[in-house]
Amino acid sequence: MITVSGLNKTFNQFPALSDINFTVNKGEVVSIIGPSGSGKSTLLRSLNLLVRPDSGQIQIGDKHINADTLTRRQTADFRRQTSMVFQHYNLFKNKTALENITEILRFTQKLNKAQARERGEELLAQVGLAHKAAAYPGTLSGGQQQRVGIARAMAVDPQVILFDEPTSSLDPEMRREVLNLIEGLAGRDLTMMIVTHEMGFARDVSDRIFFMEHGHIIEQGEPAKIFQTGSSNRTRSFLHDFA
Ligand code: ADP
Ligand code: MG
């Protein structure tokens, strides 16, 4: 589903991503862990082309881009392959929960008003928020806002959903409801990449884990390998500091 080769990104000569290579299969759930500043967000944002890589190639589904020859049109087209769930939800504050979803459906899927509404209500029901369709984000809890964010990400029917620390802004008691929702999605046939500091969650939900440091994926493998014996000293020391 995803193939990345030779991906590089520098910010003012600082290498945020250095020669990133990996593949992700359809339906696979990959968590990305690692210290702050290691390039996790930059990697996700590169897949979505919110960050323009300096060099390298990315294939997602049936679309392929080469950073060297990327055009504006290709960028817009390629962006539709993925959708992003952000740490701070990024909902429109002046639109209701339902409108936050129907807006995107009308623009990207070209649905009419009635169709968008029907699909939007269906998506809110899937995240347990059918009763909050008319509520504005400011009246919802953080956990509820993030569930709307996830419904919106699913609305465009993406090939891949990218989560960037989806629970980092939430109080502990609200984290669980969002993690449970993501865990439920993981059981479906969705392909997901999740940047997270929730190690228990990463271990339970992921097919594979990438450990990043200094712009490199320095280790990857099944959770059992990363969290148990097989992992490198560096990964082990990160997990130890974390616990
Ligand atoms: P992480 O998500 O793992 O904490 P990031 O991908 O956000 O790390 O950042 C990786 C490095 O790139 C950091 O040193 C960060 O300061 C730098 N960086 C990220 N985005 C930008 C930007 N837009 N401009 C300049 N530097 C950036
Ligand atoms: Mg980050």
Q: What's the chain's Rg over C-alpha atoms?
A: 18
Q: Tokens 């409801």 appear where?
A: 177
Residues with CB under 6 A from ligand 1: 11, 14, 16, 34, 36-42
- Specify the ligand 1 atom closest to the Cα of 34: 3
**For atom 23 of ligand 1, which residue has the closest CA?**
11
Q: What is the pLDDT of residue 99?
A: 97
- Specify the ligand 1 atom closest to the Cα of 43: 6
Q: What is the pLDDT of residue 229?
A: 61
Q: Coil, helix or strand for 104?
A: helix
Q: What is the pLDDT of residue 71?
A: 94
- Ligand nearest to the backbone CA of 215: 1
Would you say 136 and 93 are in contact if contact means Cβ atoms under 8 Å apart? yes
- Ligand nearest to the backbone CA of 39: 1
Q: What is the pLDDT of residue 228?
A: 78
Q: What is the pLDDT of residue 231?
A: 66
Q: What is the pLDDT of residue 230?
A: 54
Please enumerate in sequence order all residues whose Cβ is within 8 A of that of 206, keeping only pairs 6 or more positions apart, or say none: 29, 30, 31, 194, 223
What is the best residue among 10, 11, 20 to mutate for testing ligand 1's pocket, by most ligand atoms within 8 Å of CB? 11
Residue 153 is which amino acid? A
Q: What is the pLDDT of residue 82?
A: 97
Residue 90 per-residue DSSP state? -
* ipTM attached to this prediction: 0.98
* 74 vs 53: CA distance, rounded Å: 14
Q: Which of 8, 32, 35, 9 is nearest to 21 (CA)?
A: 8
* pLDDT averaged per 10 residues, the chain (length 243): 98 96 97 97 97 97 96 94 95 97 90 94 96 98 97 94 96 92 90 96 95 95 83 80 71
Tokens linked to 23: 């593949």
Residue 50 per-residue DSSP state? S
Tokens linked to 19: 């020669």
Q: What is the pLDDT of residue 135?
A: 98
Q: Are strands 216-221 and 208-213 parallel, antiparallel or unpaired?
A: antiparallel
Q: What is the pLDDT of residue 227?
A: 85
